[in-house]
Amino acid sequence: MQISRKSKNKYPIGFYVCTSAYALERMAFYSAKWLIGIFIAAEVIRGGLGLTPADGAKMTANLVAFTYLTPILGGYIADRWINPRLCIILGALIMAMGYVFGWQASVMSSSKFLWIMILLVSIGTGLYKGNIAGMSGRLFDDKNQLDSAFSIQYSIANIGSFLGTLTVSFIAYKIGFGKTFLVCALLLIISTIWFYFAGKATFGEVGKKPFEVYENKASAKKGSKNYNTPLTSNDKKRIGAIIIFTIFSIVFWVVWYLTYMPVLYHWGPDFDYANKANWVIGNFRVPSAWFDSLNSLCCIILGPVLAAVWSKNSKSKKGDMSIFKKTALGMILLGLAFIVMSTAEIVRGDNQANLIWIIVVGILISLGEMVFAPLGKSFISKFSPAKLLGLMMGVWPLARFIAGKTYGYLYEMLSNYSFAYAYGIVAIVVILCGMIIWKLDKKFSSLV
C-alpha cells in the first residue's frame, strides 16, 4: 500500500495555526498528567494527598482513558450539528475550567475535585482533539501531503509537551501543585485566543460548518451523486481496516502507557520507597517529569526525519511500508524497551540502576511511537468515507481509551510479581503481536 506521493505544494498557514494551538493544549495536558501522579502519592506535608502509587496509577489512567473516548462523540457532533471551529473553542475552554478544579483539589485536599477535573478535561478533549485533526486534514487540497504533514504536526505538538514536562516539576515544587494546575488552565486560554484570531485569517471556509455539510458541497461541485447515498462495499472495507488498525493499537498503547508507571513509582526519585535508580548527575537530581520530556524531545527530532523517510520511500519502486507493518515495527521496538527494563532490574541487583537504562527505555518507546502513531490520523483522513470523517477520527483514539482504562490496573497486577519476570513476559507478548501483524500485513492491506 503506497502511503504518499511527491508533492511540491507548501503546507497551508492554517495548518500551522491548528498545530501551534494543539501544542499549547498538549503542554497543559502532559503537565497535568505528571501533576496528578505526583500529587496523589506525595505526602500530605508536601501538599499531596498521601494515597498509594496504585491510586495514582489508576487516576492518571482515567485521565488518559476518557480523553481518548470522548472524541468519538465530539467528532459526531462536528460531523452533524456544530461547526468544528466552535467545537474546538468550546473544548479548550471546558478543559481550562477542568484544570481550575485541579487547583481546587489541592486547596480542599480532596480527590473529588480531581474527578471533576478529569470529567471536564475529557469532555473538552472530546470536542477539541479529533476535530482539530479533522480541520488540519481538510485544509489540504493535496491529500498526498498528509503523511508528512501529520508527522510534522506530531513533532510540533510534542514541543508543547516537552516544554511542559521540562518545567512543570520546578514550577510545582516552587509554587505548589494547585497553582501549577492554574498554569495549565492559562495555557488553554492562550491557545483559544490564538486559534480564534489567527484562524479567522487563515482557515478560509474550512470549519465554518459541520464536516458533513462541507463535504456535501465539495461533492456537489464535483458532480457526484447524492451525498447521503448508502456506504459502498469499498467504504465498508475501509471502515473495517480502520477498526482493525484500532484494535491492534490497543495492545501497543496499553504497554506504552505502562512504561511510565515503573519509571515514576519503581525507579523514580520522588518517593523514598522507590528510588531504585540513580537520578543524580553531579549535584543535580533529574526530575522524573523529564522522562516525559525525553519522549517529547525524541518525537520532535524524529517527526521531520520520519516525514522525510516516508516521503522518500513512497517514491521508490516498492513504495512505503503499510500502516500495518509500521504498527508491527512499533510493537517490536516497544517490546525491546521492556527487555531493557527487565535487564536493568537484573543487572542492578541490590544497587541503584544507572540512569542510562531509563534513557534507553525512553528512546525505544519514542521510536516505536513515532513509527506509526502520527500516521493513524493520515490513514483515517485518506480512507474514511467523507461523511464519517469526524466519527472515524474519534474511533482512532478509542484504542487509547481502552489502553488508558487498562494500564493502571495492569500495573497494579504486575506489582504482585517479580519486576524482571513480570515485565519480561510483557516484552515477549508484545514482540509476538508485532510479528503476527507483520505476517498478516497483505491480508489487512487488501482492505484499502
Q: What is the mean pLDDT of residues 203-231?
A: 62
pLDDT of residue 1: 37
435 pLDDT more than 80: yes
pLDDT of residue 344: 92
Are 368 and 331 contacting, i.e. CB atoms less than 8 angstroms apart?
A: yes
pLDDT in tens, 109-142: 777 888 899 999 999 998 998 888 888 888 887 7
287 pLDDT more than 60: yes
Residue 182, all three cell numbers:
492554574
101 pLDDT more than 50: yes
Measured between alpha carbons, how far is 312 from 148 in angstroms, rounded to an integer? 11
Name which residue leads in pLDDT, 30 or 48: 30
Tell me which CATH code domain 13-445 carries. Answer: 1.20.1250.20
Q: Flag the least confident range among 86-100, 178-192, 348-362, 394-408.
A: 394-408
Q: What is the mean pLDDT of residues 364-375?
A: 81
Residue 17, all three cell numbers:
495555526
Q: Quickly tell me which residue has 501533576 as its cell.
A: 35
Name which residue leads in pLDDT, 194 or 239: 194
393 pLDDT more than 90: no
pLDDT in tens, 148-159: 787 788 788 888
pLDDT of residue 28: 94
CA 67-73-79 angle, 5° bins: 130
Could you give the dihedral angle defined by the CA atoms of residues 236, 238, 244 and 246, in that order, rounded to the nearest 10 degrees? -110
Cα distances (angstroms) measured from residue 109 to each of 29, 56, 99, 121, 179:
21, 15, 15, 20, 13
pLDDT of residue 170: 86
pLDDT of residue 227: 46
Are 28 and 83 contacting, i.e. CB atoms less than 8 angstroms apart?
A: no
224 pLDDT more than 50: no
173 pLDDT more than 50: yes
pLDDT of residue 2: 37
Name which residue leads in pLDDT, 29 or 75: 29
Q: Which of 64-68, 112-116, 180-184 is most confident?
A: 180-184
284 pLDDT more than 70: yes
- Per domain, the residue ranges of the chain are 13-445
Taking all residues of the chain, what is their mean pLDDT, rounded to a whole number? 82
Q: What is the mean pLDDT of residues 261-283?
A: 79
What band does 214 get if pLDDT is binned at 50, 70 and 90? low
- By CB atoms closer than 10 A (0-12, 13-18, 19+), residue 388 is buried
